[in-house]
Amino acid sequence: MYQFLFIAIISYIIGSIIKVANGSRRYSLEFAKGFLILLISGIYLHSGLSYLMASVGVLAGQSRPLFSKANGSSTEVVALGIMFFMSPAIGIVLLLIFVIFYMILKDYNRAVFAASLTIPVIAFKSFRSDSYIIISMIIFASLLIQFGLPFLEKKMKPKLLYDIGVGLGVLGFLILLYFNKYVYRGFGLQTDIIRHGTHHFKYVALTFDDGPDPVYTPEILDILKEKDVRATFFLVGKNVNSYPEIAKRIVEEGHSIGNHTYSHRSLIPLTAKSTYKEVKDAETAIDEATGVRPTLFRPPRGVYSNYVRGLLKEEGYTLVLWDLSAVDWAELAPKKIVTNVKNRVKPGSIILLHDSGDLITHRGGNRASTVKALPEIIDTLRAQGYEFVTVEQMIFITELMETEEHSHENNLSPAQAH
């Protein structure tokens, strides 16, 4: 995660200090700034999240620089450079839309504002990647703040809107840190949540979230079959309904399956009724496709509540999280995914990987890097003496060890116990 923060900081600094006073050179430089910062960030770390952090950094530096005054900063030109990087065709369309509005309105600011209103529609219609859609929405918000709606200009200064945005961003970052601790460690005694297995044996469990996917899941299954490895797949009900034959293949080839909700919605904001429906609809979809009722459950993004824990217990589920994320959800390079696993693995690790999903949605992400990294992950861990089990097998081994330890302690004499 520090790499993404580094990208954001460097992009902010570049957005702050590289400026030209006026003239055509200014617009050329600022267009190049938006385009090249994303290009360089992709070379450094090819990931949808790296593009997102680079965009946030350069736009923030351009509109509120740290080392100089924001003297007529052309955020819209930098934004156009970013849009051109993501899609030259969309960049040209937006430029043409601006020209048309400028010819009609005869006012630069109003033309930029009017053209910016088309960005959300174009983004949702054209981009499949969540990161590109989020970047487009950030650009839209930046232009809205800079150029302003007429009624907002009268009631609220753009600087105040910016300060509110920064405050919300900081709050969001603190919430992210909180949930990172919440997912990996939890608070208090949580014997009903599985984050890892026993540390006595060199067993690990590979888990894949968000599938099945018509492209990546079969490729992952082919690798697992070739390497003779059993894994655990946490399936999204909507995807199971779309690709039931792939879900069935997962079970037929000896892998474990778990419930990952029906539509991959975060559970904490949902009502009790909606939460129940997410769990049970996914259960029905998986049962109908595979003939197996899942007993493992993993909440989207690892976010759960006490209500969810109670519901899962009533429904006979075991709540399964992880202690090692490969961070493949960020679409990192294969070598980086392998390194993340190799450097942090330990006996009993439950390893989080993805065969579908995106930053937000339940499908649409690029999991080619995960597929390329998987054979090396398996070979590397085997060379270190690790064996692969399913989560169900890991839970059984852990419970067996705890039973034996408890039995041994009860059989000790008082003198031996001390």
Q: Alpha-carbon distance 360 to 357, whole Å? A: 8
Q: Which two tokens stand for residue 331?
A: 């679409």
- Residue 209 designated active-site: yes
Distance CA 174, CA 52 (A): 18
Round to whole Å and give the CA distance between 252 and 246. 10
- The closest alpha carbon to 64, from 76, 52, 73, 51, belongs to 73
Place of tokens 């937006």: 94
State residue 361 phi and psi, 5-degree precision.
-80, 170
- Which of 209, 210, 323, 358 is labelled catalytic? 209
Kindly tell me the sign of the dihedral angle through the C-alpha atoms of 223, 228, 232, 233: positive
How far out from the chain centre does Cα 242 lie? 22
What is the rounded distance in angstroms from the CA atom of residue 3 to the CA atom of residue 25? 32
Catalytic residue among 196, 354, 355, 362: 354
Q: Is 213 a residue of the active site?
A: no
Distances (CA, A) of 174 to 50, 164, 179, 180, 221: 19, 15, 9, 10, 38
Report the C-alpha gap between 310 and 270 in whole angstroms: 15
Q: Which of 323, 50, 374 is nearest to 216 (CA)?
A: 374
Do the strands 324-325 and 193-194 form a parallel or antiparallel pair, or are they unpaired? Answer: unpaired
Question: What's at 98, amino acid-wise?
Answer: F
Cα distance between residue 134 and residue 141, in whole Å: 11
Q: How far apart are CA 102 and CA 96, in angstroms?
A: 10
Q: How far apart are CA 373 and CA 365, in angstroms?
A: 16
Instruction: Name the residues annotated as catalytic.
Output: 209, 354
